A = this chain, B = another copy of it.
């Protein structure tokens, strides 16, 4: 029927436009919240400042997210989604998986580049992980634990097969994540020291160096 291309009488254009506007407000609030939470921590961030940065007013936060805490959770979920997207993008179509030295190396490379592009993620993580709280418990069960289990499990296998160095998997996890993220978490500090850690040349040198240090020289290449 030809009524398909006309707007349904039950939902007039004004409603649709209002919904689109509401979605835009929500998105703007999420983006602004990420920056504020990353810069000042949950308790130090101001909902007024977030709303102003999003170009709207402070009560909109309670309308769209109920509370400051729910806004934070939504922002963190959104951020981990972007991390997964970025890692997948950097891995490319031919994802080699984690089960070999080359696969683990590709994932380190992709994670370093993703971490550089999303400094807010590790800034929020490091600010929340310093003290036990309901928020930390929420983020650990929802986001950290699955990733921790994946990396440590794969390292354990490679280690058992003698492919990588004889290093405890928890030691490996925190050393690797710390080595991969601090240069971007502390980018403002590095800039004051005279170094641009967000430059492509730094990121590439960093990723390559980490693969060499954590996995050793590639014997395939050495032959």
Contact = CB atoms under 8 A, between A and B. Distances in A.
Copies of the protein in its oligomer: 2
Nearest to A176: B179
Given A43-B41, A44-B44, A176-B179, A129 B193 contact: no
A192 B140 contact: yes
A19 interface: no
A185 B44 contact: no
Contacts of A170: 183, 190, 195, 197, 202
A126 B43 CA distance: 16
A44 B178 CA distance: 24
B44 A42 contact: yes
A181 interface: yes
A181 B178 contact: yes
Size category of the A interface is 35 or more
Contacts of A128: 189
A6 interface: no
Interface string A99-137: 000000000000000000001000101111111100011
A192 B136 contact: yes
Interface stretch (A9-17, A85-93, A203-211): A203-211
Interface of A: 38-44, 119, 123, 125-132, 136-137, 140, 144-145, 148, 165, 167-168, 170-172, 174-183, 185-186, 188-193, 195, 197, 202, 205-206, 209-210, 212-214
7 contacts: A127-B130, A129-B189, A144-B193, A170-B183, A174-B190, A175-B179, A178-B180
